[in-house]
Amino acid sequence: MNNSALSIAQTRAGDVCVVTLSGRIDSTNANDVVNELTRLFASGEKTILVDLGAVLYLTSAAFRALLVATDEAERRAARFALCSLAGHVRDLFEMGGLIEVFSIHGSREEALKQLGRPVPRAI
């Protein structure tokens, strides 16, 4: 398995802050995810969408990170959602009984349609 390191990238789609996680999220790096998401909520983001499409696998440390972010969103009356779970990643959510816990969208497009206004098109 190559590309082992976790990378966290960030883009904006209208009012939605999209955080793309790729690689593996485990107990060595899950804190980076908590810190980044907490920082974004603290900086005033009202809607954060985490794209998990490029995640190789995640462990309970990663689930904890996403649960902390969910609580943080609730505390700040913000929205927090996930999208693009690949089959094996979805399996892990299911094994953990966590599918119902998070707001999960099939794709980034679907999520953005529901979460925010469409990105304004350049004229």
Partner 1 sequence: MKRAVELRLKNDMSEIAIVRDALDNLASELGIPMQALMQLQVALDEVVSNVVKYSWQDDAKHEFLVRITVHPDRVDLEIFDDGQAFDPLSVPPPATVTDGRRPQPGGLGIHLIKKLVDNFTYERIGGRNHTTLSKRCEVGAAQRSEK
User: Closest CB to partner 1 among 42 and 99?
Assistant: 99
| Residue 70 structure tokens | 């969910």
Q: Which helix (H) or strand (E) holds 64?
A: helix 60-75
User: Closest CB to partner 1 among 41 and 63?
Assistant: 63
Alpha-carbon gap, residue 2 to 78, rounded angstroms: 35
Taking the complex as a whole, the smallest distance from the CB of residue 32 to partner 1 amounts, in Å, to 12
Taking the complex as a whole, the smallest distance from the CB of residue 44 to partner 1 amounts, in Å, to 25
Residues near partner 1, by CB under 8 A: 1, 4, 24, 26-28, 56-61, 63-64, 67, 70-71, 88, 92, 95-98, 100-101
User: Closest CB to partner 1 among 14 and 32?
Assistant: 32
Long-range contacts of 86-94 (CB under 8 A, 24+ apart): 86/52, 86/53, 86/55, 88/57, 89/52, 89/55, 89/57, 89/58, 92/57, 92/58, 93/63
User: Closest CB to partner 1 among 42 and 101?
Assistant: 101
Taking the complex as a whole, the smallest distance from the CB of residue 23 to partner 1 amounts, in Å, to 12
Alpha-carbon gap, residue 72 to 85, rounded angstroms: 22
Taking the complex as a whole, the smallest distance from the CB of residue 15 to partner 1 amounts, in Å, to 26
